[in-house]
Amino acid sequence: MGKVPCNSDIALIFYRLATLSQFLDENPFITRAYQKAARNIESLDVDIKHLFDAGKLKAIPGVGEEIAKGIAEIIETGTCKRYEAMKREIPCDVFGLLGIPGIGPKTVRRAYEQLGITTPDELEKAAIEHRLRKLQGMGVKSEAKILTAIRRSKEMDKRITLDVALPIARIAMEYLERCPHVSNVTATGSLRRHRETVGDIDLIATSDADHSEAVLKAFGSMPGVTRVIKSGATEASVILKNVRIDLRIADRASFGSLLQHFTGSKEHNIRLREIAIRKGLKLSEYGITDHETGILTPCGEEAEVYRMLGLPFIVPELREDRGEIEAAIAGSGSLPDLVTEDDIKGDLHVHSKWSDGANSVPELADAAMGRGYEYLCISDHSKSRGIAGGLSEECVIRKINEIDAFNDDNESSRGFRVLAGSEVDIRADGTLDYPDRILEMLDIVIAAVHTGFSQDRRTMTSRIVRAIVDGHVDILAHPTGRLLGERMGYEVDIDRVIEVAAETGTALEINASPRRLDLSDINARKAKEAGVMLAIGTDAHSTYHLGYMEFGVHVARRAWLEPCDVMNARGTTELLRRIGRG
């Protein structure tokens, strides 16, 4: 056994145990226990090994005798017997197969038992050869759907979500910062532009010419590197934790030029080069060359590049050639004054212990106050979401009472208010999962689709439209239902949803969970342009997840949103007025 497993490695094993137990059709209670343990381990803010050493594993919510034993086993041996036994029992790539959108445990089992399919490639082959359609519950249409899904998910697999990429980037950056003769270690590429997912990690740093090769060598021998793709005088590429990292070294004098070049996007840079040419200049990663004199001026600071081209500075999030060049040419007043994390006054989508969250209302409120928020909307699941601890009507009323009492004690003294919300299921027919009486008692109603993902586009669109014209919904959560790298969203006419949201004054969510980021930057921008307000919510299931706000704000920035476009950039009074509770 090589390295000691970290919190996320252990959580992953429990997530997988949950999946396998579902596949084996074990008691759903077991599946849920594994899922809960996985989630709580994932969101611990201490190293689980410290709890293990202190004999305190059972202090983790959702961890009892059995699970604690499992964790100890994983820490000591890297895996656990139960997990290994289950994997032996199931000789097929359940995780790979379940990763394909539209494929559930039942289909995987039938495909395995009846057709001997064990991998996504075999499934693809069976679909191409029209063997899949013969399975029970499968037809020509679903076969074609699966084939499309396999092909799409192969594409998606190549990109990395930010919750995976960022920690890896941090490891590499911290390592480089400790290397002698290195300074200005900076992320560039899509990571600096805060794209929703990244293809690889791009880093740059400065060093003097005498040392850059040694720095790149040291980079190649960083602990955890499994492969050095290339290593030269000024650049190297390695694989760390299955992710490619490109590193470029520059001298201080041309650092700004290199940073600008490697931040991209390629499309943005092409436009800049055209502007340069029209001015008789040539733009490169080394600087700006005057065509006539041949003199190269390296830019130490990135802003100089833009200045020399006669443009105001354009923030990385906007550099996609989606109109930012035109706006910059028109003058800095035409570029948006983007929302920042400092503008955010509260989180509008949080789960507490009342449903499937790990923390109590006071714990979440404390964490929110620690982040400088004025309010927090506790939005637990509604009654139909049994699997996620959805609240009965009676429970919702008790929850509202708890929140009222909390606010009575804290609102005036601490200037903080908990909003009583609910993430209410939109049922298959578009009705909401609580009666009006309950909806009217809540401060904020967030509506969401969690079931019936296979509905066709027309049905799904009218289902969502029906829910939001109902008049009770303040926010539509994760409007497309996508899970990055896992599944495409459901089929929906998002333009129609945006139109109806505008007509009804319903806010659309930017779900900040790095696995969702839904709406996407492009759709959120469309919403803004249609006059729709966006609500950034982390969908936190623990205090740790409140930190996901930064991901949501970056999507908002990439969507050109200003503070006035964001519902939770408003103070409490204004927010309450907006949702009709003022």
- Residues of this chain that interact with ligand DGT (CB under 6 A) are 189-190, 195, 198-200, 202, 261-262, 264-266, 269
Closest CB to ligand DGT among 271 and 371?
Answer: 271
Closest CB to Ca ion among 248 and 570?
Answer: 248
CA distance 347 to 541: 12
Closest CB to Ca ion among 189 and 430?
Answer: 189
Q: How far is the CB of 237 from Ca ion (least distance, A)?
A: 8
CA distance 515 to 483: 6
Examine residue 189 and tell whether it contacts Ca ion (CB under 5 A).
Answer: yes
CA distance 232 to 279: 34
Chain centroid, CA 218 distance in Å: 32
Burial annotation 225-238 (CB, 10 A radius, 16+ → b, else e): beebeebeebbbbb
Residue 390 CB partners (closer than 8 Å, separation 6+): 355, 380, 381, 382, 383, 384, 425, 433
H helix or E strand, kind and range, residue 161: strand 160-161
Q: How far is the CB of 339 from Ca ion (least distance, A)?
A: 25
Among ligand DGT, Ca ion, none, the one that 347 touches (CB under a kind-dependent 5 to 8 A) is none
Q: How far is the CB of 126 from ligand DGT (least distance, A)?
A: 32
Closest of 438, 429, 441, 440 to residue 382, by C-alpha: 438
Q: How far is the CB of 12 from Ca ion (least distance, A)?
A: 25
Contact status, residue 536 vs residue 568, Cβ threshold 8 Å: yes
Closest CB to Ca ion among 143 and 246?
Answer: 246
Examine residue 202 and tell whether it contacts Ca ion (CB under 5 A).
Answer: yes
Among Ca ion, ligand DGT, none, the one that 3 touches (CB under a kind-dependent 5 to 8 A) is none
Q: Is 542 exposed, middle or buried (0-12, 13-18, 19+ CB in 10 A)?
A: buried
Place of tokens 């999962």: 433
Q: How far is the CB of 190 from ligand DGT (least distance, A)?
A: 3
Closest CB to ligand DGT among 184 and 462?
Answer: 184
Chain centroid, CA 314 distance in Å: 24
CA distance 186 to 204: 5
Among Ca ion, ligand DGT, none, the one that 265 touches (CB under a kind-dependent 5 to 8 A) is ligand DGT
Instruction: In the chain, count H helices and then E strands.
Output: 24, 17
Closest CB to ligand DGT among 261 and 427?
Answer: 261
One-character DSSP codes across 299-330: -SSHHHHHHHTT-----GGGTTTSSHHHHHHH
Among Ca ion, ligand DGT, none, the one that 166 touches (CB under a kind-dependent 5 to 8 A) is none
CA distance 175 to 163: 19
Closest CB to Ca ion among 201 and 449?
Answer: 201
Interacting span for Ca ion (CB under 5 A) from 195-203, 212-220, 249-257, 394-402 = 195-203
Examine residue 285 and tell whether it contacts Ca ion (CB under 5 A).
Answer: no
Closest CB to Ca ion among 155 and 210?
Answer: 155
Q: How far is the CB of 70 from ligand DGT (least distance, A)?
A: 36
Among ligand DGT, Ca ion, none, the one that 516 touches (CB under a kind-dependent 5 to 8 A) is none
Which single residue brings its beta carbon nearest to ligand DGT?
Answer: 264
Among Ca ion, ligand DGT, none, the one that 195 touches (CB under a kind-dependent 5 to 8 A) is ligand DGT
CA distance 273 to 74: 53
* The pair of three-digit structure tokens given for residue 164, joined into one six-digit string: 């995976």
Closest CB to Ca ion among 196 and 565?
Answer: 196
Q: How far is the CB of 369 from Ca ion (least distance, A)?
A: 37
Q: How far is the CB of 202 from ligand DGT (least distance, A)?
A: 5
Q: How far is the CB of 498 from ligand DGT (least distance, A)?
A: 27
Closest of 496, 471, 491 to residue 481, by C-alpha: 491
Among Ca ion, ligand DGT, none, the one that 269 touches (CB under a kind-dependent 5 to 8 A) is ligand DGT
Among Ca ion, ligand DGT, none, the one that 262 touches (CB under a kind-dependent 5 to 8 A) is ligand DGT
Examine residue 246 and tell whether it contacts Ca ion (CB under 5 A).
Answer: yes
CA distance 82 to 69: 11
- Reported in sequence order, the residue ranges of 351-488 that DSSP labels E, i.e. its strands, are 375-381, 417-425, 444-448, 475-476
Closest CB to ligand DGT among 160 and 532?
Answer: 160
Residue 57, Cβ neighbours under 10 Å: how many?
21
- Terminal Cα-to-Cα distance of the chain (whole angstroms): 59
Q: How far is the CB of 197 from Ca ion (least distance, A)?
A: 10
Examine residue 213 and tell whether it contacts Ca ion (CB under 5 A).
Answer: no
Closest of 357, 260, 354, 359 to residue 304, by C-alpha: 260
Q: How far is the CB of 507 from ligand DGT (least distance, A)?
A: 29
* The pair of three-digit structure tokens given for residue 340, joined into one six-digit string: 């920042």
* Single residue of 9, 73, 122, 200 touching Ca ion by CB under 5 A: 200
Closest CB to ligand DGT among 71 and 203?
Answer: 203
Q: How far is the CB of 551 from Ca ion (least distance, A)?
A: 17
CA distance 458 to 497: 12
Residue 33 CB partners (closer than 8 Å, separation 6+): 62, 64, 67
Closest CB to ligand DGT among 219 and 262?
Answer: 262
How many residues touch Ca ion (CB under 5 A)?
5
Residues that bind Ca ion (CB under 5 A): 189-190, 200, 202, 246
